[in-house]
Amino acid sequence: MSVENTPQGTVAAGFEPVREEFAAVAAEEGNDYAAQLVAYLAGERVVDLWVGPEVRGDSLIGVFSATKGGAHLVVALLVQDGVLDLDQRVSHYWPEFGAEGKQDITLRELLAHRAGVVGVDSGLPLDELADDRIIAERIAPQRPYWRPGTAFGYHALVIGALTGEVVRRVTGQTLQEQFEARVRAPYDLDFHLGLPEEHEPRFLTTLPMRPTPEQQAELDAAATGPESLSGIAMNRNYPNAPELPELPNFRVVREKGPASVGGVASARGLAGMYAAAISEVDGRPPLLKPDTAAAFVQVHSVGYDLVSRQHKVFGLGFAAIGDTYPILSQAAFGHGGAAGSQAFADPRTGLAYGFNRRRFAFPGGPAPENERLVKAVHAAVG
């Protein structure tokens, strides 16, 4: 095992098995494995590890859909403040959204991936895909791809633009501005929805998946066309759209930080945000009251996701992490990302977890090694 392949960083007493498990994962993954793993317990950082060439503890990586966790923490705060009402119609806040049979869709349904507008018929060029306000404008007149109320599907690239437009209409500020003011800056978190130029030197480009021939065959068998619902949701229906893994590698995406997939963070930033959400951190009270967290983790969509074509369980804006990792509590909420990131809080134990990896993991989505790492961290929490 080379030095580069040995996890660096620190763990608190009792969390040594987490370091061992992370080392075992790295050894199996091979010499160019690059990842970060951080955990907080009751607001204290108890795991702070990283491994692999070029990676450091403060490296910034594109977190793809883990971005949605940051975006919807903002929405949860606004609901907690009474500024937004989950059962209000989206078109009340944002009249243009009411077109084509969407007039009665509530904020609750939108957050539960039930609205049916996962993209637009003609796709979006990169500069539009990077700009939540334009995404929202383009989606507003779109007919839902399924009948609202009858199904759900992952609004992979657009959910944050839609909920963000609601935030903007109500607060006068973008979701990104709210995130900066209420979440990122107070804790100096390395979780950016819009990465300032000064932090660019710490950014590591995302690397594409490197499937084995068997894995490639599996991917080919499950391939969907650019005009399929999955294709539209991934914007593959736009001619020569960039491949998903490339997104954070464009400066325009990092700069604007679209709230669905454009966030850039370290695992410290991811875990730190979830710690702040549920625990006292730096002398500040938890951002979320227990009732607010419970309302957002409450399951709202269960079954076959028309976009991912897989079984999914969603709360409001967050994934039902307790269904993904049933060793955790049902109260766990968070969001993973396409390259392999995973991040969540479990209010029952006070655990906050953040994981990043640089190279897309097979088969896409939160990397499989999270299962082992989550178990190890949870066991150490005891």
Contacting residues toward a copy of itself, per CB under 8 A: 108, 112, 143-147, 150-151, 223-225, 227-232, 291, 294, 298-304, 306, 309, 311, 313, 322-323, 326-331, 348-349, 378
Going by C-alpha positions, the residue among 257, 266, 254, 255 that lies closest to residue 187 is 266
Which lies closer to a copy of itself via its Cβ, residue 251 or residue 311?
311
CB of 156 or CB of 253, closer to a copy of itself: 156
| Residue 114 C-beta: closest distance to a copy of itself, Å | 9
Q: Supply the DSSP symbol for 8.
A: E
Least distance in angstroms from the C-beta of 327 to a copy of itself: 4
Q: CA–CA separation, 67 vs 173, rounded Å?
A: 18
Cα 225 to Cα 130: distance, rounded to the nearest angstrom: 23
Least CB distance to a copy of itself at residue 200 (A): 38
Q: How far apart are CA 8 and CA 136, in angstroms?
A: 42
Q: Confirm if 128 and 157 have CB atoms less than 8 A apart.
A: no
Cis bond before residue 363 (omega within 30° of 0): yes
How far is Cα 172 from Cα 123, in angstroms, rounded to an integer?
Answer: 28
Q: What CA–CA distances, in Å, run from 322 to 22, 142, 328, 329?
A: 21, 33, 5, 6
- What are φ and ψ of residue 83, in 5° steps? -75, -35
Minimum distance from residue 151 beta carbon to a copy of itself (Å): 4
Look at the block and give the residue holding tokens 């939540």.
Answer: 132
Measured distance CA(167)–CA(215) in Å, rounded: 41
The nearer residue to a copy of itself, 264 or 328, going by C-beta atoms, is 328
Q: Name which of 49 and 380 has its Cβ closer to a copy of itself.
A: 380
CB closer to a copy of itself, 23 vs 302: 302
Write down the least CB distance from residue 145 to a copy of itself, Å: 6
Minimum CB separation of residue 194 from a copy of itself in Å reads: 32
C-beta of 198 vs 291, nearer to a copy of itself:
291
Shorter beta-carbon distance to a copy of itself: residue 144 or 257:
144
Q: Please give the helix or strand (H or E) that residue 296 lies within, else none.
A: helix 290-297
In the complex, least distance from residue 370 CB atom to a copy of itself, rounded to whole angstroms: 16
